[in-house]
């Protein structure tokens, strides 16, 4: 597995160290020390995909992951025997014999119809069309991507969707969806097979904790600048 040294920390891990600088009397200078650990929504999103992937079928699956540049999932899934294709507007830093990477626009997916058993979009759809990551600006980039996803899934194929959820909002980087806007997003193309909701609890001292919660609680959470709640869906091509 090859990587460029400068890219080694590009993957969006659930846990990442937060550093501070303190003065070391023994060395008579400031040095970096670990202040804590940052915990983001990947702590629930990645296990959700891995735990439920069997719903897409047994054995070797043909899987497409959207917006994969910062995702560890392509390597994990390829290493467990699945055939994986990743697509992103930016380069993916790692390679694997069972992983094909395509640099391109998700809203213009080039695949033929009905080719994938499963499509995965972990905190990706909310960014599409806004241009924050160098992608093209589309007024409804999320809806355009959903149409492409539907086309490239096999009959009864599964779409694993994780997305910011709660009080509906829009900023320069992402959309936050509520129940109504998710129904509009999926339309009649998909049937919901499973859904869970998770929120970040900031009441713990030190690091926040992500907890599974109810729809009622999640839909009251606001995420004006940073994702504080997510919805995790498995939907089937209708």
In the chain, domain spans: 5-11+40-237
Least confident of 49-53, 131-135, 223-227: 131-135
pLDDT at 158 over 90: yes
Q: What is the pLDDT of residue 203?
A: 76
For 118-154, the pLDDT digits (tens) are 999 999 999 999 998 888 888 899 999 999 999 999 9
What whole-number distance in Å separates Cα of residue 198 and Cα of residue 212? 4
DSSP reduced 3-state for 162? strand
What percent of the chain has a predicted confidence (pLDDT) above 70? 95
| Mean pLDDT score of the chain | 90
User: Other C-beta atoms within 10 Å of 238: how many?
Assistant: 12
Structure tokens belonging to residue 162: 């994780």
For 7-33, the pLDDT digits (tens) are 444 678 787 777 788 888 888 888 887
Q: What is the DSSP letter of 189?
A: T
Least confident of 41-55, 89-103, 172-186, 192-206: 192-206
Q: Does domain 5-11+40-237 have CATH number 3.40.710.10?
A: no
pLDDT at 78 over 90: yes
What whole-number distance in Å separates Cα of residue 83 and Cα of residue 99? 6
What whole-number distance in Å separates Cα of residue 61 and Cα of residue 52? 13
Tell me which residue has tokens 């003065």.
23
Residue 148: enclosing H or E segment and its boundaries?
A: helix 141-152
Residue 97: pLDDT band with limits 50, 70, 90: very high
Q: What is the pLDDT of residue 204?
A: 72
Our measurement of the distance from residue 5's CA atom to the centroid of its chain's CA atoms, rounded to an integer in Å, reads 24
Q: What is the mean pLDDT of residues 88-110?
A: 92
Residue 5: pLDDT band with limits 50, 70, 90: very low
Contact 193/159 with Cβ under 8 angstroms?
no
pLDDT at 223 over 90: yes
Task: Give the pairing type, strands 83-88 and 62-66.
Answer: parallel
């Amino acid at each position: 597995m090859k990587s460029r040294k400068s890219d080694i920390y590009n993957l969006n891990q659930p846990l990442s160290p937060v550093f501070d600088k303190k003065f070391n009397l023994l060395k008579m200078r400031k040095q970096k020390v670990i202040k804590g650990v940052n915990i983001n929504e990947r702590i629930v999103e990645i296990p959700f995909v891995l735990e439920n992937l069997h719903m897409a079928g047994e054995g070797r699956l043909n899987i497409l992951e959207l917006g994969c540049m910062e995702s560890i999932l392509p390597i994990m899934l390829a290493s467990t025997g699945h055939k994986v294709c990743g697509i992103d507007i930016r380069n993916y830093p790692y390679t694997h014999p069972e992983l094909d990477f395509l640099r391109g626009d998700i809203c213009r997916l080039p695949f033929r119809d009905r080719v994938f058993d499963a499509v995965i979009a972990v905190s990706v759809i909310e960014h599409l069309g806004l241009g924050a990551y160098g992608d093209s600006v589309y007024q409804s980039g999320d809806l355009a991507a959903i149409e492409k996803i539907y086309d490239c899934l096999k009959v009864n194929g599964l779409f694993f969707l994780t997305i910011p959820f709660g009080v509906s909002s829009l900023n320069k980087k992402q959309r936050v969806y509520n129940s109504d806007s998710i129904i509009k997003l999926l339309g009649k193309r998909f049937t919901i097979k499973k859904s869970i909701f998770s929120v970040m609890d900031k009441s713990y001292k030190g690091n926040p904790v992500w907890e599974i919660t109810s729809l009622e609680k999640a839909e009251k959470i606001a995420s004006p600048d940073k994702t504080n709640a997510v919805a995790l869906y498995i939907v089937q091509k209708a």
